[in-house]
Structure 1
Amino acid sequence: DGKQELFKSPIEAREAGIETVYQNLALSPALSIADNMFLGREIRKPGFLGDWLRMLDRPAMEKRARDKLTELGLMTIQNISQAVETLSGGQRQGVAVARAAAFGSKMVIMDEPTAAISVRQVAEVLNLIRHLRDQGIAVVLISHRMPDVFDVADRVIVMRRGRKVADKTIASSSPEEVTGLITGAIEQV
């Protein structure tokens, strides 16, 4: 929203609409896709069953998870209640991105989302990033893979040793220049 914020906890950031997709994905392998998407935000059944017995409304969670995965073009997944551990690396990344985008996010921070997945899965993840961007969700992409950065980003900010050394539009830079800035071969711009 253009204003500076100071958060005291990750929960405060999440409540402000900032989500994170971690490099390790932070998914629970034995839980279902829907359970992972709603982890910490479970939908409870209405009335006594939800308020007192804390029973989950699994059909509502599964429907919302299915809707978000469909919206993101990820419904190649056959069974929304299957365990995440049965999914490919790209599908797991898709679940993590869908979880980040499912709750009215304003910004998604993605830490190395294309590390350790196949070329085909990289293309799928980059399409997800484009989809988020096209929905008006700001994406902060942390990556050392310059082709990915230049494929989906509008701007590049280069950090080296905890300091910002460059802030440029993609159009005014190149992968070689950014790599040089990262490594220190090129001084601060």
Structure 2
Amino acid sequence: MTPPSNLNDTVWFATGCSSGLGKSFAQTIYKAGHRIVATARNVTSLSYLPDEPNVLKLELDVRSQGAITSAFAAALRKFSKIHVVINNAGYGLMGDMESISEFEGRDQLETNFWGPVNITQKALQIFRGKFALEGFTKAVVKEVRPEWNIHFLIASPGGMRTNFAQSSLQSPPRHAAYDSPNVYPISINLE
């Protein structure tokens, strides 16, 4: 993949642009004069971006392989290429072990791990023609030839003010056993 001849020709594809870090990425990319494919599960949440030629707003649930394929196809129809992919979609899940259901745990992994894995696989097909996400990315880096000019960045931001701990955080009801301060810590006799 050849880099763009002009930085303003750069096409960015970003997931999770409805709020927080993803919204900041999308706004910064747009304001810098680049072309942005901003995605979110609810496309109306992208109304902060204008409807203009350098912006493509797409509905994308990263848990769906079909939705990922459709989003990349739409981006290529509009801009003919993609230079940078930002895997940002995700949410938190907080609660005690007994309260988090298998469905909730698997759904979070589908969003926070398998979604980015599937996005990356699709992006590699376009660019060229493994402890959860960071390990996967580090492994993929070693598979990509330097002459392909594909670069990866793992951003692990520290604390910052976003809505991740509010609307992007799910918290199932606590298990009743944890409601009383008298039962913590729990001791179990294994004899």
Q: TM-score, normalised by structure 2?
A: 0.33
Q: Which has the larger radius of gyration?
A: 2
TM-score, length-scaled by structure 1: 0.34
Higher relative contact order (CA 8 A, sep 6+): 2
